[in-house]
Amino acid sequence: MDPRLPHLLAAAGAALALSGCGARAEKATLPPAGAVARAVRVAKPSGRIETGLARATGTVRAREDAVLSARATGQIARLLVGVGSRVRRGQPLVEMDATNARIGLQNAQAMERLAAAGLAMAERDMQRSKGLHAEGSLPDAAWEKVQTARDVAAAQHDQARAALRGAEQLLSDMTLTAPFDGTVTARHRNAGDTVTLMPVSPIFSLTDLDHLEVRLAVPEAIEGFARPGQQATGVTTPGGQQLQVKLRVKNGVVDPASRTIEVLADVLQVAGPALRPGTLVQVDLGTFSEKGALFVPTTALRTDGKETYVLVAQNGKAERRPVEATPVHPGTMEVRRGLDATADVILDPGSLAAGDAVVPLAN
C-alpha cells in the first residue's frame, strides 16, 4: 500500500466538499424566474418632428383677385382690354355710354352757379340791412328775416355743390378702372350689353399672378410648427414642382369641423414654370417646436382606461409616467405634459409592467 494514498483521498474529499458548497452558493444567488431583466428598446423624446410628418395641404391663390362689375347702371360702350391683358392700377378697362351722365353734370353745374348767385345776393342784402339795423331804421323782425334768407341761400349753395360732386362721380363711374396691377382672366360681358348696379353685373375678372400665396389648412396638433416669418419648402401635387414659401399670417381660430388652423404663406420661389392659382400643394413645416413639445412613437403610449402613460427605463426598472398626449400623424404623438427630454422611453412595452426589471437597449 502506497503510504501517500490516505493523504490523496483526504485531499480529494476536501475538493468535492468545496465544489458542493460552491454549487449551493451559486444556486442561492440566482434571481427568481419572475425577476429576470428584460431587454427593451428605448429612446429619448424628440423635440423635432420627422420631416414629412409636419406637413400641411393648401391651395395656391392670388393675393389680389377681384371680379370687376359696373359701378352704375348703363350700357357698355367699349371694352378696352381682353382676356390675358396685363393692366396697371388705374388703367381704364371699360367705357360706359356716358351721354346721360354728361347731361346730368351740365345740369348740376348750372344749379351750382344759380345757388352761388343766390348766396351772393343774400350776402349783399345782409350787409345793407346790417347798417340800417344798427341805425335803428330796420326793425328787429326784418333784420332776422334777412339773416334767415342768407342762411337759406348758403344751405342751397351747399346742396348744389354736393349735387355737382355727385354728378362728377357718376360721370367718373362710367369708366371702369383696374384697382390693382394684374392680368385679366375672364370677360363676362360684351360691348353693347346693359349692366346694372343692383343686382351686380360682373364684366371682368382680374388676378395678380405676380404675387401668389398658399392658403394652408394646418392640423391643430402641429400648429406650433407654423410660425409667421418662417420659410418652408413645398411641392405641388400632382406634378412635384418644388417651391419656397414664407409664412405670413396664422389664424387664431380653430375650425371646429376639420380641427385645422388657416395659415397664409407667400410664394417666394418656384422651380420651373409659374404656378397657377388653384394648384394643390403640400408644405413641409418640419422644424423645432416653438412650444417645447416632445414627440414619441404611438407604440410607446399605453392606457388603463383612466390615464395615458408611458414606461421609462430608470435604475434598471420600468417606471410609469402619466402623460398628456395628442396625435400628430399616424405613428407619432405629441406629449404636452408629464415627460422630460432626458427620459429613456420604452418604445414597445408590450406586457411590461411598472416595476419590472429592464435592460435598456438604444434604439
For the domain 99-172, what is the CATH code?
Answer: 1.10.287
Give residue 84's pLDDT. Answer: 93
pLDDT digits (tens, 9 = 90+) for 280-292: 999 988 654 545 6
Which class would CATH give 38-49+292-362?
mainly beta
pLDDT tens per residue, range 168-196:
999 999 999 999 999 999 999 999 999 99
For domain 65-95+176-207, which CATH number applies: 3.40.50.1820, 2.30.38.10, 2.60.40.1930, 2.40.50.100? 2.40.50.100
Question: Consecutive sets of 10 residues in the chain, 363 residues long: mean pLDDT of each?
Answer: 41 37 37 68 81 79 94 94 95 96 96 96 93 89 94 96 96 95 95 92 94 91 82 88 93 89 92 90 71 81 90 92 81 84 91 90 75
How much is the pLDDT for 330?
64
In angstroms, the CA 138 to CA 214 distance is 78
Domain with CATH 1.10.287 in the chain: 99-172
Residue 224 pLDDT: 76
Task: Assign a CATH topology to domain 55-63+211-284.
Answer: Elongation Factor Tu (Ef-tu); domain 3 (2.40.30)
Predicted pLDDT of residue 331: 77
Rounded to two decimals, what is the model's pTM? Answer: 0.58
pLDDT at 292: 65
Supply the mean pLDDT for the chain: 85
Confidence at residue 197, expressed as pLDDT on a 0 to 100 scale: 87
Domain with CATH 2.40.30.170 in the chain: 55-63+211-284
